[in-house]
Homo-oligomer: A and B are copies of this chain.
């Protein structure tokens, strides 16, 4: 039996994790940022509760809490019931999903840890858009990628919008940050090669080989994706084994980075399944 605590005062300090929600999940080094991990809704809250992130509490409308507890059981942390009005006052805006969960950041994983046993990884450089990061995690998880590595210039993957857009897969799929600055992190790509990974860079360059050719026969693949506009840095391109392209129709634009990633993850999975 899960005991649900009803809270009627929006100023109750037990709701502090959800206060001013548009700021509280910012990185701890930013003003007002508590660095909490926040999940929303009946699909993603259970995923946070099952993750490596230490959950602090669950809060929601009565009906949503009932559905959550029905499906998930006891989360082992305080569960607070609030009305829509109280939650809106605490968070600073209306949350129609009516179910939230807060967790602390888990200790960061090392590159070594996330590469353990991995055959397909994606490496991101300069992907600064939260929705793109979220979509990349959703697509990577769905299409069999084992880990995500961050080079320089990427947005925080534990921001609330990333958690939501990824459908919680950012909480499940292992990720790590590669060491170095904007011009030195690429040395980590050499270590990937030493571990047997073929580093495949996605580029709109017509001189690159077809993605299918790039993926054929590689035992371990590290797929390198850059930001849509500027693309990959020269340093990253130089550390690449194979430059791959998705052929585009004349007069069209390159795909969104998350979509291009999905196509590449699919091709990698296809090569592993069908040879």
- Please list the residues of chain A having a beta carbon within 8 angstroms of any beta carbon in chain B: 43, 135, 138-139, 141-144, 167, 169, 210, 212, 246-249, 252-256, 258-259, 262-263, 266-267, 269-270, 273-274
Bound together, the chains give a CA A52 to CA B149 distance in angstroms of 45
A267 surroundings in chain B (CB, below 8 A): 266
A156 → B minimal CB distance (Å): 22
A202 → B minimal CB distance (Å): 12
A169 surroundings in chain B (CB, below 8 A): 252
Report yes or no: B210 in contact with A139, Cβ–Cβ below 8 A: no
Report yes or no: B212 in contact with A256, Cβ–Cβ below 8 A: no
A255 surroundings in chain B (CB, below 8 A): 138-139, 142-143, 262
A259 surroundings in chain B (CB, below 8 A): 135, 139, 258-259, 262
A208 → B minimal CB distance (Å): 14
A262 surroundings in chain B (CB, below 8 A): 255, 259, 262-263
Does more than half of chain A's interface fall in helix, strand or loop, or is it mixed? helix
Contact status of A142 and B254, CB under 8 A, knowing A212-B270, A247-B269, A270-B212: yes
Contact status of A246 and B273, CB under 8 A, knowing A141-B252, A259-B259: no
Bound together, the chains give a CA A212 to CA B253 distance in angstroms of 25
A144 surroundings in chain B (CB, below 8 A): 247, 249
Bound together, the chains give a CA A138 to CA B262 distance in angstroms of 15
Q: Which residue on chain B has the smallest CB distance to residue A146?
A: B249
A167 → B minimal CB distance (Å): 5
Report yes or no: B263 in contact with A247, Cβ–Cβ below 8 A: no
A271 → B minimal CB distance (Å): 10
Q: With a 10 A CB-CB cut-off, give which of A139, A249, A258, A259 has the most chain B CB atoms.
A: A259
| A-B pairs with beta carbons under 8 Å apart, 5 shown | A135-B259, A142-B255, A143-B246, A258-B259, A259-B259
A18 → B minimal CB distance (Å): 25
Report yes or no: B142 in contact with A252, Cβ–Cβ below 8 A: yes
The 3 closest A-B pairs by CB, nearest first: A142-B252, A263-B266, A144-B249
Q: Which residue on chain B has the smallest CB distance to residue A43?
A: B253
Bound together, the chains give a CA A252 to CA B144 distance in angstroms of 10
A12 → B minimal CB distance (Å): 35
A253 surroundings in chain B (CB, below 8 A): 43, 138, 142, 167
Q: Which residue on chain B has the smallest CB distance to residue A145?
A: B249
Q: Which residue on chain B has the smallest CB distance to residue A165?
A: B256
